[in-house]
Structure 1
Amino acid sequence: MSDTVDNPFFARLWVAMSAREPESLRLLRRENLLGLSGRVLEVGAGTGTNFAYYPDTVTEVIAVEPERRLAALAARAAGAAPVPVTVDTGTVEKLTARVEFDAVVCSLVLCSVEEPERVVGQLYSLLRPGGQLRYLEHVAGIGARAQLQKFADATLWPRLAGNCHTHRHTEETIAAAGFSVTDARREWAFPAWVPLPVAEFALGVAVKPA
């Protein structure tokens, strides 16, 4: 697939950040993949941080990562993964599948896509009936955190962080696409007092009706 992204600054930043993720975030990544089986689509694979956590009940992972530098690192990580992983260097918007997926995994990616409604709708179409969307995402906070997020999104944060928009109502977008959210909660990957717009995460399971 030939729709790669060239963002060298963000690629260098993400490589540094993913190598130093707090253990709290790694535990959330692992939990997000717990119990998966069958054929899985991972969107925005980055450097392949998730790959080591896939359970052996997964038969195949198609991992989409359009940033070419990150995709190269993801391909290297795929070689050490406990399940078969193929890295696709296109965008999910361009992806078509003759065989539907049993699950889709989104980890810190729906905050950065240009058209989240379109992307979530595409993910819905790629899932089999009864299939799951597993998500671990930056989402809109409340109170002072919300104001910080809005300020960050309106200034330099998206430019520095690969188009990340921290004040998105991602779970509402997922529900509006037709998914049924069956399990969801909020978790802090950093202490609540840390003045970061991305300290809080939403972790959840959404199901395409059978």
Structure 2
Amino acid sequence: MGFYDDQVLPRFTNVALGKPMEPTRARVAEGLSGEVLEIGFGSGRNLPHLSPAVTRLLAVEPAAVGRRLAASRIAATPILVEFVGQDGQQLALPDASVDHVLVTWTLCTIPEVERALDETRRVLRPGGTLRFVEHGRSTNARVAQWQDRLTPIWGKLFGGCHLNRPVDKLIENAGLTLDTVRTYRMGRPEMFAFAYEGSASKQD
């Protein structure tokens, strides 16, 4: 991980995905319980939205600055937070070992996102859920074409971020069942702000 990705980008996302996104974070985290794995823990902005029913949060976060920025939020929560790795593509956890997985604005930047979602399914217990909010591929064909054109340069500027990933299809292709999914525009222009929000479950 280079200086920009490790030192600059975490500070940027801590602000850019800050206060205006808190209601969204609260919706996605609502009702979580037991052992929760968060892929892309970042600066810990989801922590205040977790219920006391969460007994332990297992955090995956590659950026050292993100982990440092999270220190005050970790100190303020009664939930045990344990860092368990830096790579969502290869989770150092046993099969069927967590109750839920939480991802917020993370799947766009994972290089091999299919592998990360396969790992998500592997570590979920039967009946466990993946809770997610992500930006991704617009359902408007013209906007999606622009996303395809802009993603290569966008990724170079923003830590490998992809504008054009079809989040719902990727989750289903990993063998998870989409229980709820809502698409909407987080802002303008749509090519940067088309959102997928919902929950998927592991059936067996």
TM-score computed with the length of structure 2 as normaliser: 0.90
Counterpart position of 1:201: 195
Task: Identify which of 147, 150, 153 aligns with 1:149.
Answer: 147
Instruction: Indicate conservation of the 8 Å contact 2:85/2:92, yes or no.
Output: no
Give the Cα–Cα distance (whole angstroms) in 2 for the partners of residues 26 and 50 of structure 1.
Answer: 8
Instruction: Indicate conservation of the 8 Å contact 2:5/2:63, yes or no.
Output: no
Counterpart position of 1:123: 120
Residue identity matched to 2:86:
G
- Structure 2: gaps spanning 5 or more residues: none
Counterpart position of 1:163: 160
Instruction: Indicate conservation of the 8 Å contact 1:32/1:204, yes or no.
Output: yes
Counterpart position of 2:60: 64
Task: Identify which of 11, 18, 22 aligns with 1:15.
Answer: 11
Give the Cα–Cα distance (whole angstroms) in 2 for the partners of residues 152 and 171 of structure 1.
Answer: 21
Q: Against the structure 1 CA distance between its residues 6 and 69, is the aligned structure 2 distance closer, same or farther, given a 3 Å change threshold? A: farther
Please state how far the C-alpha of 1:16 moved relative to its aligned partner.
Answer: 3.1
Residue identity matched to 1:57:
A
Q: Against the structure 1 CA distance between its residues 122 and 9, is the aligned structure 2 distance closer, same or farther, given a 3 Å change threshold? A: closer
Equivalent residues, number: 202
Give the Cα–Cα distance (whole angstroms) in 1 for the partners of residues 85 and 127 of structure 2.
Answer: 27
Q: Against the structure 1 CA distance between its residues 12 and 203, is the aligned structure 2 distance closer, same or farther, given a 3 Å change threshold? A: same
Please state how far the C-alpha of 1:143 moved relative to its aligned partner.
Answer: 3.0
Q: Quick one: percent identity of the two aligned structures? A: 30
Please state how far the C-alpha of 1:173 moved relative to its aligned partner.
Answer: 1.2
Q: Against the structure 1 CA distance between its residues 95 and 21, is the aligned structure 2 distance closer, same or farther, given a 3 Å change threshold? A: closer
Task: Identify which of 98, 106, 109 aligns with 1:101.
Answer: 98
Render the CA deviation track for 1:55-102: whole Å, top value 9, x for unaligned: 111111011101122122224422222422223452123322246000
- Structure 1: gaps spanning 5 or more residues: none
Please give the secondary structure, in 1, of the residue aligned with 2:168: helix
Give the Cα–Cα distance (whole angstroms) in 2 for the partners of residues 72 and 84 of structure 1.
Answer: 16
Task: Identify which of 173, 177, 197 aligns with 2:170.
Answer: 173
Please state how far the C-alpha of 1:103 moved relative to its aligned partner.
Answer: 0.2
